[in-house]
Amino acid sequence: MSEQIEKKPSTGEYEREPVPQSKWKNWKSFLGMYAGEHAAGTEFMIGPLFLTAGVSAFDLLVGLLLGNLMAVLSWRYLTAKVATKHRLTLYYHLERIAGRRLVLLYNFLNGLLFCFLAGAMITVSATAVGVPLDMEMPKLTDTMPNSVGWVISVMVIGIIISVIAARGYSSVAKAANWLSPLIVLAFLACGIVAMRELGVKSFSDFWAIWGEGSEPFPGQIKYGFWHVFFWSWFCNGAMHIGMSDLTVFRYAKSEKSGWTTAAGMYVGHYMAWIAAALLYALYLKSPEAQAMLAQNEAPPVAPGPLAYNAIGLFGILAVIIAGWTTANPTIYRAGLAFQGMLPKLTVTQGTLLAGGIATIAGLFPAFAMKLLGFVALYGFVLAPMGAVIASDHFLAKWAGIKSHFAERTGIELNMAVLLAWILSVGIFYLLSTGAGIFLSFLTLPAWLCCGVLFLIFSIYFQKKAGSHQ
């Protein structure tokens, strides 16, 4: 999955104006980017975690097939459509509707969530570094660091990643693009080797790996078809229905470029997740894992050892690179968000601050081991803001309200946006925690609620503003 909200770094080009036609790009420019960015460090964790949730073969294979299709359709018919109409970054587009102060708050939440996601990827890389060091790996239920060696490994990796992010983003971004085919190849190799070791000789053998499902591991919840479907649809909810990829598709010649996201969904979020799940299925056959299951303990999900057991040193290298190429731009963008909140900081200082927070987060395995839940929360919190943009774009005229209200009036905080966002997120999050409802089930209702509340509050506040003019 992709961890990045703004895939193009802040370079001072067209950040507060539409991208000119001379800079538009064809669909090929987006195909490789999405294929690479969605076969990343997160995939090494997500695939195995589906197995710990006791998912069945049908629920996993068909749920992912259809959930990822819905994500592609969301990018194509929502994000790409709005992006190629206005050709503005997410932040400037939102500023025109909501006002600068609210965008700063949104930026801060973005940055903080980015840091936690980058921390999970530092954890992933540390599991690979720990293989040659024979380091004890964190368990699925661990929340705290389990050894001094773990702390040192995470700190060293975090510092290196943070310094690189702060000093050389352009070269790192180019290196990541060159290395992404290597990561895709590693996932494919892992899947093939795991199937061979599992004795898969037919599709029925492959299906039987998951079969009718099982009881979830200790500390996990049971996933069925709808869990897989909605989670895979909304794990990148901040990017598509949340409109963050306006920043990317503002460069597209046509909204049809939105179809290129299928490369990311079906190379990364289908092939890579399933390949990573196969690695874990192979590990579960080992005496060590069987002994833990017999004692009602959850075998660890540690990408480094899993990949090493399948493809040796190439696996260790792939996990390190995948974690690095995911965490590095994530820390950079978190730094931009913090620098926007604290203008006295330089971008370098903001990035180092973000790297420090991410490194501290990486010490705690819970962010990686609970990645399914964290990513669901990440999309749930940020996605409803996209409903504001969608309602302003598609329904403002129908509702009789002025679009881009903050820009028209010069206000720095549009209360209609703030109230719609807080109420929709707050109400449905409390419903999830209070009634025990899977959070991804409520992402779409929260999104729709935010859009409707934005229209209602806009009618009220704009009418009130008009009466005082």
How many angstroms separate the CA atoms of 465 and 469, rounded? Answer: 7
| Structure tokens, 74 | 């969301």
pLDDT at residue 117 in the model? 84
In whole angstroms, give the CA distance from residue 216 to residue 152. 32
> What token pair was written down for 225?
């078809």
60 and 288 in contact (C-beta within 8 Å)? no
Q: Is 232 in contact with 68 (CB distance < 8 Å)?
A: yes
pLDDT of residue 169: 53
What's the pLDDT at 8? Answer: 42
CB 300 within 8 A of CB 311: no
Torsion of CA 238, 243, 247, 253, to 10 degrees: 130
Mean per-residue pLDDT of the chain:
85
Is 27 within 8 Å of 84 (Cβ atoms)?
no
User: Can you give the residue ranges of every domain in the chain?
Assistant: 21-369, 383-469
- d(Cα 106, Cα 121) in Å, to the nearest integer? 23
Task: Give the integer Cα–Cα distance in Å for 80 and 245.
Answer: 8
57-105 pLDDT tens trace: 999 999 999 999 999 999 999 999 999 999 988 888 898 999 989 988 8
Could you tell me which CATH number the domain at 21-369 has?
1.10.4160.10
Closest of 281, 265, 279, 273 to residue 211, by C-alpha: 281
> pLDDT tens digits for 116-165?
888 888 888 888 887 777 777 777 777 788 788 888 888 988 888 888 77
What phi and psi values does residue 75 have, to the nearest 5 degrees? -65, -45
pLDDT at 4: 40
Predicted confidence at residue 170, as pLDDT, reads 60
Q: Which residue has the higher pLDDT, 107 or 396?
A: 396
Say which residues have a Cβ less than 8 Å from residue 193's Cβ, sequence separation at least 6.
310, 311
What pLDDT does 466 receive? 66
Which distant-in-sequence residues (6+ apart) come within 8 Å of 88 by Cβ?
17, 18, 96, 246, 250
Summarize pLDDT for 234-254 with one digit per residue, the tens: 998 988 999 988 888 888 899
Of all residues in the chain, the percent with pLDDT exceeding 90 is 37
Residue 445 tokens, joined: 């209702």
How confident is the model at residue 325, as a pLDDT? 73
Q: What percent of the chain has pLDDT over 70?
A: 93
In the structure, what pLDDT confidence band is assigned to residue 394 with cuts at 50, 70 and 90? Answer: very high
Residue 45 one-letter amino acid? M
Task: Mean pLDDT check: name the lowest of 12-16, 120-124, 218-222, 463-467.
Answer: 12-16
